[in-house]
Homo-oligomer: A and B are copies of this chain.
């Protein structure tokens, strides 16, 4: 499915969602949905805000962004992550499921796919719970930080020996 097709489809899904839940169909909401589906990968509210400002298509306030994104999450069109300080968001319709590898030292986030893992998680039986989505965060150190840390340890040992 190409980008325009996806955008049309999610707009439809959103319209249905707004109808079903008795919300109004404002231009702000559609502009936000559209912008989000133009972004690849993660973004935070601030990034989205600047992006929409620069586009000059539609100016929306941060408050509206926060409000709308709650609806989009509820409509299953966006998912929310919480690594680092600010919440990160991501479009979720027609996107490959992926997992996240996070370096505890430098904070770098890498995505990876693993079908076995995915099916193991999806086949898990949950009691009294309607699954909507999931996030797997794998924490550790990237090779770069492992090396940096080893150097530091060696320095400390040298100091002690003096």
Q: Say yes or no: B146 contacts A130, CB within 8 Å.
A: yes
Docked-complex contact A101 and B121, CB < 8 angstroms: no
Query: Closest Cβ of chain B: how far from A92's Cβ, in Å?
Result: 11
Q: Which residue of B lies closest to A110 (CB)?
A: B129
Question: Within 8 Å of chain B (Cβ to Cβ): is A45?
Answer: no
Give the number of times this chain occurs in the complex, counting copies: 2
How big is chain A's contact interface, by range?
Answer: 35 or more
Whether, in the assembled complex, A131 has its beta carbon less than 8 Å from a beta carbon of chain B, the answer is yes
A111 within 8 A of B: no
Q: A20-B156, A134-B137, A135-B137 are in contact. Are A117 and B124 (CB under 8 A)?
A: yes
Is residue A5 within 8 Å, beta carbon to beta carbon, of the partner chain? no
Chain B residues near A54 (CB-CB < 8 A): none
Q: Does A143 contact B (CB under 8 A)?
A: yes
A74 B20 Cβ-Cβ under 8 A: no
Bitwise, A123-162 to B at CB < 8 A (1) or not (0) is 0101011111111111111110010000011001001000
Cα separation A133 to B141 with both chains bound (whole Å): 10
With CB as the reference atom, state the residue of chain B lying closest to A156: B22
A83 contacts the other chain (CB 8 A): yes
With known contacts A82-B83, A153-B20, A101–B129 Cβ distance under 8 A: yes
Q: Is the CB of B138 within 8 A of A131?
A: yes
Q: Are B114 and A153 in contact (CB under 8 A)?
A: no
> Which A-B residue pairs are the 4 nearest by beta carbons?
A82-B82, A120-B120, A22-B156, A128-B143
Is the beta-carbon distance between A129 and B143 smaller than 8 angstroms? Answer: yes
